[in-house]
Amino acid sequence: MKILRTTSVLAALAASLSFGTTFASAGEVVWWTPNFNEARARELVAQFQEANPDITVRLEITVTDGLPQRILTALQSGAAPDIIDVQHGWVNGYAQNNLVIPLDDVVEEGRDDYVPAALDYVSWNDQVWGVPYRIETHAIIYNRGHFEDAGLDPDAVPETWDELVETATALTGNGRSGFAITGGGEVGNTIFRSLPFIWMNGGSIVSDDLTRATVNEPEAVEAVKFYTDFFTNGLSPASTLENDGTANRRLFIAETVSMYQSGQFDVPSIAAENANIDIGVMTIPHPEGAETAAILGGWSFVVPRDARNPDEAKVFLEFLQQPENMGMFTDTFPARTSAMDLPRFDDPILQVFKEMLPYGRPVPIHPNWVQITQAYFDGIQRILLGEDVQAAMDDAADEIQALLDS
């Protein structure tokens, strides 16, 4: 198996069963969805079952921390649910390893309505292996009041890397950190926040032909140093090594962080938990003379190869992919353009997140991509613990190259 570290079938089965009983009875669809989707998922399930009384949908709620390994364990064990919500970037690895089934028949009716990049993300070997429902890119969320406190114009936001450092420095002090980066939690938190800096600096983690590790080349190393220096130079919180995106949002809500990188899904929580914050959103600053970049992220539904009731799962997916249901379900932007017309997406605070979408890029499609990102993430953590940036990326490159060669 060429995705993540080898897991024995018995160990995988035990881990899967310890998470939840995934075996479905006839006419039952077991659906794994993350906890941030739970309330909306239950509402959609109720609507679906009222219209389809012969199909029962059983929800099992996941958490993002450790989710890639948990899903892979289930897919390899033969004890998989019928539908799983996964990040776009994981789908092709599953497809290439024969762990999921193609879903062209599900998306066929609305294919022209999908954002092309979303379908491209989950396509391999001329087939569609996931049903994308959510797309997003990051921007930088900032506290306009903190800008004013520091004598900065909250409407004159930094556009370049040098300006971002200058602004973060001006905002840091009196118990506040200017710009929070992530260094812990689920690997994707740090990949989504740091990899775009590598891209906009002309670097990459692996070569375009997926044969060579490039994360230790000058453009990538310079970008990684730029990212990690926010912690090294005291502009990111002391807890950075442990912090994921949720932790940074909480620090922002507590007003001990002035700027941090995230998606629009954080805005409602900030507004609800600290209504005193005047929230600003800016595009991610870029090197002088270059363009910004972001990972085109989001989530898709997949049906495991060993799903007990794939036909019923497809009926449910056809319901979930309807524009009004997709538009209600997503935390960010829907993967179907017609769903973008719903009133909830007219909020002015979403404008910058929309502006970032054209700069979104997919991550490389490789069967070992999850392992590759783990190697890179481990290198980032070593840097935050004090290791030299070049040395850490050299070690990461060695491990990545072994994965590319396997």
Measured distance CA(127)–CA(111) in Å, rounded: 12
Q: Which residues contact 332 (CB under 8 A, 6 or more apart)?
A: 134, 135, 136, 263, 264, 265, 298, 353
Same domain, 380 and 350: no
Same domain, 288 and 320: no
Same domain, 278 and 328: no
Same domain, 65 and 117: yes
Query: Is 400 a member of any domain?
Result: yes
Give 354's Cβ-side CA count (13 Å radius).
Answer: 10
Same domain, 232 and 157: yes
Query: Is 58 a member of any domain?
Result: yes
Measured distance CA(357)–CA(364) in Å, rounded: 18
Query: Is 115 a member of any domain?
Result: yes
Please give the full DSSP string across 344-363, using - where no structure is assigned.
GGG-GGGHHHHHHGGGEEPP
The pLDDT assigned to 316 comes to 98
Give the residue numbers spanning the domain of 119. Answer: 9-136+298-355
The CATH number that applies at residue 210 is: 3.40.190.10
Q: How many domains is the chain built from?
A: 2
Is residue 203 exposed (0-12), middle (13-18) or buried (19+ Cβ within 10 Å)?
buried
CB atoms within 10 A of CB 19: 17
SS3 406: coil
Same domain, 314 and 232: no
Q: What is the DSSP code (8-state) at residue 283?
A: P
Same domain, 391 and 242: yes
Measured distance CA(215)–CA(364) in Å, rounded: 13
Query: Is 361 a member of any domain?
Result: no
* Helix orientation angle between 369-384 and 88-96, rounded to the nearest 10 degrees: 130
The pLDDT assigned to 69 comes to 86
Same domain, 225 and 276: yes
Is residue 130 exposed (0-12), middle (13-18) or buried (19+ Cβ within 10 Å)?
buried
Same domain, 170 and 31: no
Query: Is 360 a member of any domain?
Result: no
The pLDDT assigned to 396 comes to 98
Q: Measuring CA to CA, how many Å separate 354 from each of 61, 144, 234?
A: 29, 20, 31
Q: Which residues of the chain have pLDDT under 70?
A: 1-26
Same domain, 201 and 332: no
Measured distance CA(229)–CA(226) in Å, rounded: 5
Same domain, 324 and 377: no
Residue at 132: amino acid letter: P
SS3 302: strand
Tokens 């075996």 belong to which residue?
A: 23
Same domain, 79 and 146: no
Q: Which residues contact 261 (CB under 8 A, 6 or more apart)?
A: 138, 139, 140, 141, 181, 193, 284
Give the residues across from 59 on adjacent strands: 31
Q: Which residues contact 4 (CB under 8 A, 6 or more apart)?
A: 68, 69, 72, 368, 370, 371, 374
Residue 100 · residue 75 · CB < 8 Å:
yes
Statement: the pTM of the whole predicted model exceeds 0.75: yes
Query: Is 401 a member of any domain?
Result: yes
Query: Is 101 a member of any domain?
Result: yes
Radius of gyration of the chain measured on its C-alpha atoms: 21
Q: Measuring CA to CA, how many Å separate 208 from each of 192, 204, 205?
A: 19, 8, 9
Q: Which residues contact 276 (CB under 8 A, 6 or more apart)?
A: 145
Helix then strand count (H, E) for the chain reads 17, 13
Query: Is 267 a member of any domain?
Result: yes
Nearest CA among 260, 247, 140 for reference residue 185: 247
